[in-house]
Chains A and B, each alone.
Chain A
Amino acid sequence: QKEVEQNSGPLSVPEGAIASLNCTYSDRGSQSFFWYRQYSGKSPELIMFIYSNGDKEDGRFTAQLNKASQYVSLLIRDSQPSDSATYLCAVKGQAGTALIFGKGTTLSVSS
């Protein structure tokens, strides 16, 4: 079983809508959670990180973490065509260990 699971999509939303991306993880000891955006052929770009249960907002992006359910999500408000990309959920366990990525969800925002 993959340690970090994401729906591969594609997730299609119209411009201006809210896009909701979900991720579950298997290691209960995971401590840090990240969302990366990756355009085709480019390197992953960090969007947000979250450590504590609850919501964390940064501009149009909100990350939500529920450690009891081993679930982390990313909401993108007022979606723009430029948000069309693959969104990678990444989880980190104990200090010194590497990020483990999910397979990513492809988001398509239509104008």
Chain B
Amino acid sequence: AAGVIQSPRHLIKEKRETATLKCYPIPRHDTVYWYQQGPGQDPQFLISFYEKMQSDKGSIPDRFSAQQFSDYHSELNMSSLELGDSALYFCASSAPDPGGDYGYTFGSGTRLTVV
């Protein structure tokens, strides 16, 4: 079965550089979520999109922005990178839930290292 695809898997950037992470949700999933997970930490919600519109916003820094495109893939743009941005970034998607909420399916993540 198709899963959530994230690219790249690994990314090394220097301080003050920019980075773009991509996420391709499971086909027919209409909502995409971005999470940041630091070492030994729980996943922190950043932002979500439903039908290409921002649906919820969490602890996303102003230096970060995201969008969802017409093909439902999403990109997380990170500028002026700081050492503290080093983390695993997960994308997740969910399907329409007329009968209930079945949770998210997570991608394999992008490991960002800022040096």
- Whether the pair B103, A49 counts as a contact (CB closer than 8 A) is yes
A44 within 8 A of B: yes
Interface stretch, picked from A54-62, A65-73, A95-103, is A95-103
- Whether the pair B41, A99 counts as a contact (CB closer than 8 A) is no
B64 within 8 A of A: no
- Whether the pair A97, B100 counts as a contact (CB closer than 8 A) is no
- Which bucket holds chain A's interface residue count? 20 to 34
A90 to B94, CA, bound (A): 15
> Shortest distance in angstroms between A68's beta carbon and chain B's nearest beta carbon?
21
Please name all residues of chain A whose beta carbon is closer than 8 Å to the beta carbon of B101 when the two chains form the complex: 31-32, 49, 51, 92, 95
Nearest A residue (CB) for B106: A43
Please name all residues of chain B whose beta carbon is closer than 8 Å to the beta carbon of A98 when the two chains form the complex: 33, 45, 48, 56, 58
Nearest A residue (CB) for B57: A98
Please name all residues of chain B whose beta carbon is closer than 8 Å to the beta carbon of A100 when the two chains form the complex: 45
Among A32, A43, A103, A104, point to the contact of B108 (Cβ < 8 A): A43
